Structure 1
Amino acid sequence: MRLKTRFNAKAGFADLWDYIREPRPYRWTFLTISILIPLVAIAMLAQESHFRPPDAPKVTFISTFAEGRSDEEIRQTNIENQKRKEAREAELAELREQKVEAYKTLGRATGLDVDEMEREAQIENAREEAAAEARRRELYPAGTTVDDSGE
């Protein structure tokens, strides 16, 4: 069987024309709506939007160091910074020690055995350090060096 005989556009248009010519109420309204719905959908989908790419950021470099510093000046700055860092660390260690003493005083006032608690904490800290050392040895076998400073 041929496609031409199965799908005849001429017969389809003739049927449409006959259907339109029949006197029905609101036929032109329904025909207009049925044509407008797909046209509006196609028009909405066919709209093209062009978005402009964002402007490149303007970077301003701020340098607190003087241009052309010598190696000796850089070295001196690093030494001063290291001294400030060590002073801050010492101050933090002192504050931590004061905090521990305050908690010990509070513990003694409430009837706790703070000496036993301190011994348990030291044992726990030693255990954690040993586990960390074992992990370090596992990750870095003998013959390799590890810098503990995190650098």
Structure 2
Amino acid sequence: MRFRTRFNAVGGISDFIEQWRRPTPYRWPILAASFLVSGSLMFWVTQEKYYYPPEQPEVTYITTFAEGRTDEEIRQSNIENQRQKDEREAEQARLLERRRELYKEVGAATGLDVDAMEAQIEADEAAEAEAERQRLERLFGEREDRSETTVETDSE
């Protein structure tokens, strides 16, 4: 049996023509709706959008320093900034100490053993500092050991 004889389009085309020739009242609106739907779908599918990369911004640098400062002016400015920083840190330390004193007073007024709590806090802070020192020693001590061994091998 041949493939061509099994699937013959002549019968289908003749049936379509016969149905098309029948006088149906909604033939043209249905045909228009069919074209509109399939045309809209094809239009939507075949659109290509291209997004351009954004333009590079124009950078304007704003500086608060004078254009032609001398090294001495820079040094004086650095000294003044360091003085202000030291004053701020001293004020923060003073406020922190005042806060600790107030907490001690409140704790003593409520019947807590403030001295034992302070000793425990100091012990915890000392343990944390020692752990951090050991961690840094392990990290940087290995580097120093390696650099010493490389120096020793180079000198030999």
Smaller-chain TM-score bracket: 0.7 to 0.9
After superposition, where does 1:34-53 map in structure 2 within 5 Å?
34-49=34-49, 51=51, 53=53
Do residues 28 (structure 1) and 25 (structure 2) align?
Answer: no
DSSP-derived class of the 2:141 partner: coil
Cα distance 1:136–1:26, how it changes in 2: closer, same or farther (>3 A)? Answer: same
Q: Percent identity?
A: 48
**Corresponding residue for 1:74?**
74
**Corresponding residue for 2:140?**
140
Take 2:2 and 2:85, find their aligned partners in 1: how far apart are those partners? 92
Take 2:5 and 2:76, find their aligned partners in 1: how far apart are those partners? 98
Do residues 120 (structure 1) and 120 (structure 2) align?
Answer: yes
**Aligned CA-pair RMSD:** 2.6
DSSP-derived class of the 1:69 partner: coil
Q: Which moved further from structure 2: 2-11 or 68-77?
A: 2-11
Cα deviation code 1:25-66 (max 9, x no counterpart): 533333332232111111233344555654443332211111
Q: Between Structure 1 and Structure 2, how many residues are aligned?
A: 144
Cα distance 1:115–1:40, how it changes in 2: closer, same or farther (>3 A)? Answer: same
**Corresponding residue for 2:85?**
85
Take 1:11 and 1:74, find their aligned partners in 2: how far apart are those partners? 97
Deviation at 1:6, TM superposition (A): 6.1
Relative to its length, the structure with more helix (as a share) is 2
DSSP-derived class of the 2:67 partner: coil
Q: Which moved further from structure 2: 68-77 or 51-60?
A: 51-60
Cα deviation code 1:96-131 (max 9, x no counterpart): 000000100111111111100000000110111111
Q: Which runs of 5+ in 2 are unaligned?
A: 146-156
Q: TM-score, normalised by structure 2?
A: 0.75
Deviation at 1:82, TM superposition (A): 1.1
After superposition, where does 1:10-21 map in structure 2 within 5 Å?
12-21=12-21
Q: Which runs of 5+ in 1 are unaligned?
A: 145-151
Take 1:132 and 1:9, find their aligned partners in 2: how far apart are those partners? 87
DSSP-derived class of the 1:78 partner: helix
The residue type paired with residue 26 of structure 1 is Y
Q: TM-score, normalised by structure 1?
A: 0.77
Take 2:2 and 2:128, find their aligned partners in 1: how far apart are those partners? 86
Cα distance 1:129–1:34, how it changes in 2: closer, same or farther (>3 A)? Answer: same
Take 1:138 and 1:6, find their aligned partners in 2: how far apart are those partners? 85
